[in-house]
A and B are shown apart, each in its own frame.
Chain A
Amino acid sequence: MLRLRGREYDADTALVMAIVNRTTDSFYDKGATWDDGPAFERVRQVVDEGADIVDIGGIKAAPGEEIDAEEEKRRVVDFVAAVRAEFPDLVISVDTWRAAVGAAVCEAGADVLNDAWGGFDPGLAEVAAQYGAALVCTHTGGVTPRTRPHRVAYDDVVRDAIDSTVAQADRAVALGVDPASAIIDPAHDFGKNTWHSLELTRRLDEMVATGRPVLVSLSNKDFVGESLDMPVGERLTGTLAATAVSAWHGAQVYRVHEAAQTRQVLDMVASIRGVRAPARTVRGLA
């Protein structure tokens, strides 16, 4: 069971988390929503397209210009407050590894802290507990934020991802985070090469079997690009294929750039799994 902003979702309900970047340099949108106007338009659009959650981020994942906590707050806190004012029911997530930023966005109305760097700042889980927020616990193999993987190796990457994320989630729960709001994420591409990310996708059912809600962030990533030899901008088909497999395995939250297409894939897989009625069936039944 997953609980976000006081709402409960059973294990068969898949949620779309749409990415909204407040950055100048993220790999996919390259600053398209840096200004408030386009950023708000993006939120309205993804909500229309069926997004359940928006994930607002002020720092791109890859190495780049140094962004300190004050600048990160300037980029996201007021925006979170404005989104909260316009969308009182929308689940708002913020992508940050810093406890100080986490506290500020929770004050502004955020519901989820997406700790994409695997507990680098142990204070973030305490903030989540303090504000009753959900926490996304990711696997990075212990790397420093905003570094790229270089010759990374695991005895068993799936085991490592499970052990790391479940330990973070257990710690968060011990600190007071709602067990239904302690989410785990294998973090494709983070501290991993393409082989590692493919194996995590193939064996995602093992993460689901832990009983913690599983989030996957697959959207347009390098493991898709390398698998298909496709540049950024031509990875949607591969992303959706990975989405379908993850949905089949039971992942519950999908952090994505393309909300409408993801919603369709999740609905289709849910119908195949037999947990969602098709919209309208007449063929052969008239």
Chain B
Amino acid sequence: MIVAAAVCPHPPLLLRELTGAQDVAAPLREACHGALAELAVAAPERVVVVGGAGSTAEHTDAPVPARAHGGHGPRVAQGGALPLSLGVARRLLEETGSALPVELRSVAHDAGDAEIAALAGGIAGRRERVGLLIMGDGSARRSAKAPGHLDERVFAFDETVHRALSEGDTGALAGLDSVLAAELMAAGRAAWQVMAAAVDLEGSAVRAELRYADDPFGVLYLVGVWTCGS
């Protein structure tokens, strides 16, 4: 049974050691911590993390890939570290002191409907109380200085996501266009759709709350919590 889902983005700069002397992502990290605290209130017995990556897979615990993004510490081949999205999730869970068992699942950025449905099917319908941690970013083309430069189509796309996460609208998330999402560099599309599909499978009511929505560096970051109950 899915009791709640926290939604967080996964920019490398959430890893504190990567942002230099200034903690440029402090408000975002604080919002993520708040979402995880809210998730804990729903008393899950296990946290299932889902984040976009190169391929769909289940991961055993591995180092956070900070070194690959320029941080200090031992060099870990990227194949031996967690994908970025799961690594950031791991770090957020550590920072909030979560002691729950954690299951780490990546979903391919280009995953199609069947792949998403299969992954959702493996998460929904369990007897234990499951807390989802869904790692995903909005588009990265929201201004001329954004990582992907400006693409005017992002505003409608991001608005759809913003509204869907605010209102608990699984249908709107399921309807996101995977090709458009890839063109807009929206790294959260597949993970959000896994959440939507899993919640739909259980059919329980959703109470949604968006806790943070901003694009300080041209990428839309969304933090929210869905609480599920009949």
Q: How far is the CA of A284 from the CA of B218 in the complex (A)?
A: 11
Write out the residue numbers on chain B whose beta carbons fall within 8 Å of the beta carbon of A285: 11-13, 18-19, 69-70
Interface magnitude class on chain B = 10 to 19
Minimum distance in angstroms from B142 CB to a CB of chain A: 10
Q: Looking across the interface, which residue of chain B has its beta carbon closest to that of A271?
A: B20
B217 on the A face (CB < 8 A): yes
Interface of B is mostly: loop
Q: How far is the CA of A284 from the CA of B219 in the complex (A)?
A: 11
Q: How far is the CA of A282 from the CA of B70 in the complex (A)?
A: 12
Write out the residue numbers on chain A whose beta carbons fall within 8 Å of the beta carbon of B42: none
Q: Looking across the interface, which residue of chain B has its beta carbon closest to that of A278?
A: B20
Q: Are A281 and B72 in contact (CB under 8 A)?
A: no
When each residue 243-286 of chain A gets 1 if its CB lies under 8 Å from chain B and 0 otherwise, what string results?
00000000000000000000000000000001001111110111
Interface size, chain A (Cβ < 8 Å): 10
Write out the residue numbers on chain B whose beta carbons fall within 8 Å of the beta carbon of A280: 19-22, 24
Write out the residue numbers on chain B whose beta carbons fall within 8 Å of the beta carbon of A286: 11, 13, 140, 146-147, 216-219
The B1-49 residues at the A interface (CB cut-off 8 A) are 11-13, 18-22, 24
Q: Are A279 and B217 in contact (CB under 8 A)?
A: no
Q: Are A282 and B13 in contact (CB under 8 A)?
A: yes
Write out the residue numbers on chain A whose beta carbons fall within 8 Å of the beta carbon of B24: 280-282
Write out the residue numbers on chain A whose beta carbons fall within 8 Å of the beta carbon of B70: 281, 285
Write out the residue numbers on chain A whose beta carbons fall within 8 Å of the beta carbon of B218: 286
The B86-143 residues at the A interface (CB cut-off 8 A) are 140
Q: How far is the CA of A285 from the CA of B219 in the complex (A)?
A: 10
CB within 8 Å of B: which residues of A? 274, 277-282, 284-286
Other CB < 8 Å A-B pairs besides A286-B11, A286-B216, 17 of them? A277-B21, A278-B20, A278-B21, A279-B22, A280-B20, A280-B21, A280-B22, A281-B13, A281-B18, A281-B19, A282-B13, A282-B19, A282-B217, A284-B12, A285-B11, A285-B12, A286-B140
Can you give 26 A-B contacts (C-beta < 8 A)?
A: A274-B72, A277-B21, A278-B20, A278-B21, A279-B20, A279-B21, A279-B22, A280-B21, A280-B22, A280-B24, A281-B24, A281-B70, A282-B13, A282-B19, A282-B24, A282-B217, A284-B69, A285-B13, A285-B18, A286-B11, A286-B140, A286-B146, A286-B147, A286-B216, A286-B217, A286-B218
